Chains A and B, each alone.
Chain A
Amino acid sequence: MNAADWAVLLGTLMGIAGYGVWRTRHVRSLSTYLRGDAAIGWGTIGLSVMATQASAITFLSIPGQGFESGIGFVQNYFGLPLALIIVCAVFLPMYRRLNVFTAYQFLGQRFDEKTRLLGAGLFLVQRGLAAGVTIYAPAIIISTVLGWRLDLVVVFTGLLVLMYTVSGGSEAVALTHRWQVAVIWAGMATAVIVLLLRLPADLGLTGATHVAGALGKLRAVDFSLDPSRRYTVWTGVFGGLFLSLSYFGTDQSQVQRYIAGPSLRNSRLGLMFNAVLKIPMQFVILVLGAFLFVFYQFVPPPVFFNQAEWRRHAQDGRFRAIEAEYAGAVAQSQSAIRGWLEARVSDDAAREASARAAMVTANDRAHAIRAEAKSALAAVDPRAKTKDSDYVFITFILTQLPHGAVGLLLAVMFSAALSSTASELAALGTTTTIDVWRHLRPLATTDEMRNVRVARRFTLLWGAVAVGFALFAGFAENLIEAVNILGSIFYGVVLGLFLVAFFLRWVGGTAVFLAAAAAEALVIVMYFSLSIGYLWYNLIGCAACIGLSLALQAILPSRAPVAGSGRT
């Protein structure tokens, strides 16, 4: 990185954060602080929802996913548009009609206070830990490749996000999201253009697409019913629908983004904006990864993309031999690709088939050497980080982009980290203030300024928790997966609570509360006694909560409904 990169990086990040602070310097109203500007447009709502979902790891990991496994991961988003239609038609009108600050207030109005506290508590535990990972995950990658101190990157990110989130609340979050998304789109477009320009001149876009396709990187959809396949249309539609419904419908970090605005219309259009754009956007990022794969067929790549980890462990001659063998395999693969491209235009089907087989074989050999390199790393140190796909895109950025653009792409990563963290912290602060503090201090509800001050303090507190957790995370193994598991353990039950609230109108608060507690206990017991994929706990938790609610409601004595008594 040179001075131009630093200027672009710091200028972008500080400029956006400063803009957020300056634009919201007069925020005094609780509604504006927690929900955002009442005149916010649907475009800003849409961009804010998008920025909340796309964390830095989206832009670091997904191109690596395209590079390593192809673009089939796009199917994971197939359930998202369908979930957003359900949120628009069912969840959103209810939230707006009840004029809530948090999704859990709805549970309080629909059921009772204990169910509201249960929903809010489950959210705070899960999202509180996830906020730490949102800061930690990109920080570890960026600090590794640039040789920066991890703790400084974590603290810098945390301070920057807290600067505008604490001062301006939800309004500052939405305003900064607009510019952060603009930086992200500009940066990613720059990376795509540079990548296409760096491809061999005789290959071109069409040739690169054919090479990526022939080497299995462009299989976007798979209609297979084989349950062992990780990404298929069916897992994407059904699993994705379920996960997206949990995330967009019940997670306060998203609910807070779209309940803002002057009308139901604006909120709905903001969500429909995402329903239309999300799959194409993920497709472009994955195709970028597939083209990176083609690019590294012609520009010799390192055998292992996390070079810091490689240099730390790969000391002896065995590793030098692997590097030399890999360089030879890549050269062979490149030659085979050129042979196939020539054969393709020869109108000789047999020659083309033979050349294609040679190309695939050469590529498989290079792939096998990469796998051997990872095994060798693990043999030297079983705790070595052998997954390097997250480092593919950042390696391309640092080695191939011109100065200035490197700073811009790093600004993309930091902007994405800041945008999702800001939403999480604002949601955590809001939920703690509205669902917990006001529950304990009901008389303070009318003192608006005091509420704003308390919300600021809770946002700051959650920021400190997230930064502390991110700093601690460096010492823990597999922490990111641990937090994902934690999320799956809680998410299903929370969705079950909301689905009962919306669709099973005869079920009361006591039945659903006991059912949710029992379902959560069941999921935890199953987690410690069974060895099934953790994503299944989303479904199990939700189904158990709904099923037990129905059973308990049939057993428990029925109560006459009382008119809306929920505190807000």
Chain B
Amino acid sequence: MTAAPSPDEDGGAEPPDLPGFRTWRGVYLFVFGWFLLVVLLLTAFTVIFA
């Protein structure tokens, strides 16, 4: 067997190359924030229409 290599070893070497994002952590935070916003909007939708 061989120990699992750390995913960060090469993950950080390749930047996202997206406007406004310098690291993948920033991209993940954006997606997580988007998810929270969607849940918030769906909650508002439920309150308004249901």
Which A residues are within 8 Å of any B CB, using their own CB?
Answer: 74, 78, 81-82, 84-85, 88-94, 96-97, 109-112, 209-210, 212-213, 216, 218-221, 233, 263-265, 268-269, 272, 275-276, 279-280, 283, 501-502, 505, 508-509, 559, 561-566
Contacts and interface: CB of A to CB of B under 8 A. Distances in A.
B11 to A, nearest CB: 4
Interface in B1-28: 1-5, 7-11, 14-18, 24, 27-28
A407 to B, nearest CB: 34
A264 B11 contact: yes
Contacts of A559: 1
Contacts of B24: 88-89, 268
A220 B14 contact: no
Interface of B: 1-5, 7-11, 14-18, 24, 27-28, 31-32, 34-35, 38-39, 42-43, 45-46, 48-50
Given A93-B11, A94-B4, A565-B2, A218 B49 contact: yes
B21 to A, nearest CB: 10
B46 A564 contact: no
A234 to B, nearest CB: 12
B26 to A, nearest CB: 12
Given A82-B32, A210-B49, A264-B14, A501 B2 contact: no
A74 B42 contact: yes
A265 B9 CA distance: 14
27 contacts: A78-B39, A81-B35, A85-B28, A85-B32, A89-B28, A94-B4, A96-B10, A97-B7, A110-B1, A110-B2, A111-B1, A210-B49, A212-B49, A218-B50, A220-B43, A221-B39, A221-B43, A264-B11, A268-B16, A268-B24, A276-B34, A283-B42, A501-B4, A502-B7, A505-B3, A505-B4, A561-B1
A263 B3 contact: no
A279 B35 contact: yes
Contacts of A84: 31
Contacts of B38: 279-280
